[in-house]
Chain A
Amino acid sequence: MIAFIVRRTLQMLLALFGVSIVVFALIQMVDGDPIRIALGTRFDPELYQRLLERSGLDRPLLEQYFTWLGSAVTGDLGVSFRTGQPVTEMVLERLPATIQLALVALLIALIVAIPAGIISAVRSGRPVDYGVTALSQVGVSMPDFWAGVMYILVFSLTLSWLPSAGYVGLFDDPVAWVKHILLPALTVGLISGSIITRFVRSSVVEAANQDYVRTAKAKGLGEWGIIRDHVLPNAWISIVTVVGLQLGFLLGGVVVVETVFAWPGLGRLALTAVESRDFTVLQGAVLYIAAMFLVVNLVVDIVYARLDPRVRIG
């Protein structure tokens, strides 16, 4: 197990190194001088010179990369071309909002998906199965931003139940926090829940077709007893994996939904950086999101190996 964890962690670090190259390359691919573009009409030769020196964009490519990487490792991602604020500070300010949204969305996804997937599998081929399958198909195919806009239309503009945008800190006002997070979390949570539902269903169907389940049936155990004692413990392993992967996707994939709901997370930071062509901020946000994604995947792999010993030997 220790060997497995060490091996996977080294692989993750290697991937992170690769990610850093891509993120670094982003700013190099910009057509023109990124600082000049970011400054736009506010161009000021003195400020320009300062930003140029700070970012090192005038130095040779390799030197640039390793200087950038060296600072990035120590938590220094440079400064915003727009505001001069340290990028790491900006990213860390936004991080909690994204993590909260991803976790609440995942919670909603699980509350919906686990019962729906199990019922759908147990009642396979019956009307309830078709109903669940149809709904999950819609969820899987729905553009997330469109779902968000539709919820705003119904729940904010028409019914006036929930605010359409904005963020309130969890500890400042818990009730307002719930009201604000509910719509964005539902938007991504139900889509993610649709994917998990399909997965839970197929895992349970597969586990229910094993010999030991037939034996349990032959022994005369009740249907729900079999599901609880024999099917779910075995279906669980693959469900845990897909749930973990979904958390990774949620952390990175809430970008668009954050924009719809003006949710001040990392995704929105990345998009505002795109709009204002503030490339260092874009780099920082993308690097953080990708790093979180890799770490979550690493944890999922370790949990998976813990649950299923066959994985760590392979």
Chain B
Amino acid sequence: MTDTPRSQAAAEIELERLPEKPASRSREILSALLANKLAVAGLVVLAAVLLVGVFYPMIVTPAETNQVDVASRFLPPSLDHPFGTDELGRDIVERVLVASRVSLQVGFVAVGIAVVFGVPIGLIAGYYRGAIDSVLMRLMDILFSFPAILLAIAIVATLGPSITNAMIAIGVVYTPIFARITRGSVLVVSEEVYVRAARSLGSGDGRILFRHVLPNVLPPVIVQTSLSLAFAILAEAALSFLGLGVAPPDPAWGRMLFDGRNFFGQAWWMGFFPGLAILITVMAFNFVGDGLRDALDPKQKSVIESRGQST
């Protein structure tokens, strides 16, 4: 056969098309997701929180929400101040809205760190197997041997309390989950015909990993991302509540609870509303994560994993 190189190239092109999800598959997933009322509710809430987080601090700057107004201290919720005011007379609804930016930012950056480290570790471990797999996964197991929040606290305590270190700590804590999930899927995907075919056609490892394996292990990673965002927001709130996260005076939900904890007895609204904001946002991420999982893999049962580690 004289035209082997050409037919090989043609086969390569064919192969590259295969693992890509056809448009109908994405539409299928989307319509399954949209049919799930809880997931839609979650998406709506998240869109609202995102919009507020991005744009509200442009309208009302964090500095403005820090304006002290002693005359209006500890005002209970009213039309003027729907969530009441705090011990310095600051409007709580404004601070809760402005704080959404920090909480989301910490969540996204922390989970981003976990994905950026965890997914490649899982890809390499699952693809090459053998010694490198054992070494990488044993390392991940070690991180997994700590209760998540405790490890995050220990890391922040050592690096010093700051918002950056909180993001690093939460990211490190969640790296093993992404490594495990990715590795598990890679083990399955590597045995698929198209991967074996690509290998026998002489595609390099890097090409196989990124063109053929990665796209097919993304669904579980996406689901885990949504559930991990829920955890990351809870973890950030816990760290800030312990005084190990966001520094005053800028508002973050956990920080507001930390600052107000001596006043909850006389002004319940100081403790109630920031916590409610956390609860609603976390619930929205959980709904979307569960909905995505059901949409991507209808066989799987919704058993929550995001929270397992954090309690």
Number of A residues, CB within 8 Å of B: 61
Residue pairs across A and B with CB atoms within 8 Å: the count is: 161
Task: Write out the residue numbers on chain A whose beta carbons fall within 8 Å of the beta carbon of B16.
Answer: none
Contact with B along A229-265 (1 / 0, CB 8 A): 0000000000000000110111111011001000000
Number of B residues, CB within 8 Å of A: 53
B145 touches A19 (CB 8 A): yes
Known: A138-B283, A202-B303, A206-B301. A188 touches B275 (CB 8 A): no
Q: When chains A and B are docked, how far (Å) is the Cα of A202 from the Cα of B305?
A: 13
Contact with A along B298-311 (1 / 0, CB 8 A): 00011110111111
Whether, in the assembled complex, B244 has its beta carbon less than 8 Å from a beta carbon of chain A, the answer is: yes
B301 touches A202 (CB 8 A): yes
Q: When chains A and B are docked, how far (Å) is the Cα of A260 from the Cα of B287?
A: 28
A198-B303, A256-B149 known; 20 new pairs, CB 8 Å cut-off, are A18-B145, A19-B142, A19-B146, A29-B158, A137-B283, A140-B304, A141-B230, A141-B283, A144-B238, A145-B237, A149-B264, A150-B272, A198-B302, A249-B309, A250-B311, A252-B146, A252-B147, A252-B150, A253-B149, A286-B146
Question: Which of B154, B241, B279, B311 meets A249, CB within 8 Å?
Answer: B311
Task: Write out the residue numbers on chain B whose beta carbons fall within 8 Å of the beta carbon of A143.
Answer: 234, 237-238, 241, 254, 275, 278-279, 282
A253 touches B301 (CB 8 A): no
B160's nearest neighbour on chain A, judged by CB, is A31
Task: Write out the residue numbers on chain B whose beta carbons fall within 8 Å of the beta carbon of A250.
Answer: 311
Residues in B lying within 8 Å of A, measured CB to CB: 38, 138-139, 141-143, 145-151, 153-155, 157-160, 230, 234, 237-238, 241-244, 254, 257, 261, 264-265, 268, 271-272, 275, 278-279, 282-283, 286-287, 301-304, 306-311
Q: Which of A20-28, A82-90, A301-309 contacts B (4 or more CB under 8 A)?
A: A20-28
Whether, in the assembled complex, A152 has its beta carbon less than 8 Å from a beta carbon of chain B, the answer is: yes
A249 touches B264 (CB 8 A): no
B254's nearest neighbour on chain A, judged by CB, is A143
Q: When chains A and B are docked, how far (Å) is the Cα of A311 from the Cα of B153?
A: 34
